[in-house]
Amino acid sequence: MATSQTLNTTADRHEDHAWISVFNKLFDSEYTTLHQLAGWFDIEDSAIWEKYILDIVQGYVKEGSSIFEAGCGCGAVLDPIQKNFKNITIGGVDGSERAIQHLLRHVAINTSKENFLVGFIPDRLSAIKSEQYDVTISHSVFQYMSKENALLSVEEMLRITKPGGVVIIGDICDEEYKEETETIMKQHWGEDYQSKLQAYLYLPKSMWKCYENKCEVLVRNSLVEEYWRRESRYIVYLCKRNQD
């Protein structure tokens, strides 16, 4: 078992991460599948989860790709990618040491522990060399951040991605559906949930146009109908242009 002495850890400047405690409690629950341990406990069929993740990365991840996940949790996203693409290299960072330990035991079994860091984004991304990865992913993480830190994270993700590579930001809460999403949040967490947990960040699809000067930008919703959040959340692809 990995310990705090064998993991790459650091103290970061970060926000109130009461959400980390919420997700850590899932490791003591009855859930055993990675995606349910990561919070998608309403998805009982692992095949649907795998279908959803492959829809996000299809055409971008290839055999031999190097992939880094900013906010990798226990490996719920990296695991189906690793199972479906040969000879890939994976790495990641997460604010929960317990999640990283679980990932190292169950997902990154044949990967160097040095590829995984404990810490919060954007700060911890500074430890990654520039232009190191073909694909940099962050999935269902930005809603737990301030807009300032979200934008800083995008810049850091672009920095560590190779020219010709892609930054994929998935499961972004669409500002257009804020009212509907907040209703669901209050039903699940209580009317006063924002007094205990940091409120979600909602981002409009139009904001990503500002990256068109340095990237090819694609914004879309998931094509997997079984993923009920697909209307209120979206995916952004920032395809980093090759250097002249």
Query: Is residue 91 included in any domain, yes or no?
Result: yes
Query: Is residue 41 included in any domain, yes or no?
Result: no
What is the reported pTM?
0.91
Mean pLDDT of 40-63: 96
Q: Over 60: is that where the pLDDT of 13 sits?
A: no
pLDDT of residue 244: 63
pLDDT of residue 205: 99
For the record, the structure tokens of 60 come out as 């971008």
Q: Over 70: is that where the pLDDT of 109 sits?
A: yes
What is the DSSP code string of 201-228? P-B-GGGGGGGTTTEEEEEE----TT-G
How many helices, marked H, and strands, marked E, lie in the chain?
A: 7, 8
Mean pLDDT of 150-175: 98
CA distance 229 to 221: 9
Look at 127 and 2; give whichever has higher pLDDT.
127
- Counting the structural domains of the chain, the total is 1
Percent of the chain with pLDDT over 90: 75
Query: Is residue 86 included in any domain, yes or no?
Result: yes
Residues 6+ apart with CB under 8 A from 149: 14, 15, 121, 122
Helix 97-106 / helix 18-25 crossing angle, nearest 10 deg: 40
Query: Is residue 22 included in any domain, yes or no?
Result: no
Is there a contact between 99 and 23 (Cβ–Cβ < 8 Å)?
Answer: yes
Note down the domain range covering 155: 49-240
Query: Is residue 19 included in any domain, yes or no?
Result: no
Amino acid at the residue 97? E
pLDDT of residue 69: 99
Mean pLDDT of 98-120: 94
Q: Over 80: is that where the pLDDT of 17 sits?
A: no
For residue range 187-237, list pLDDT tens digits in order: 877 888 777 778 899 999 999 999 999 999 999 999 999 999 999 999 999
Query: Is residue 4 included in any domain, yes or no?
Result: no
Amino acid at the residue 206? S
Q: Over 90: is that where the pLDDT of 171 sits?
A: yes
CATH number at residue 58: 3.40.50.150
Report residue 183's pLDDT band, with 50, 70 and 90 as the boundaries: very high
Query: Is residue 77 included in any domain, yes or no?
Result: yes
Query: Is residue 5 included in any domain, yes or no?
Result: no
Summary mean pLDDT of the chain: 91
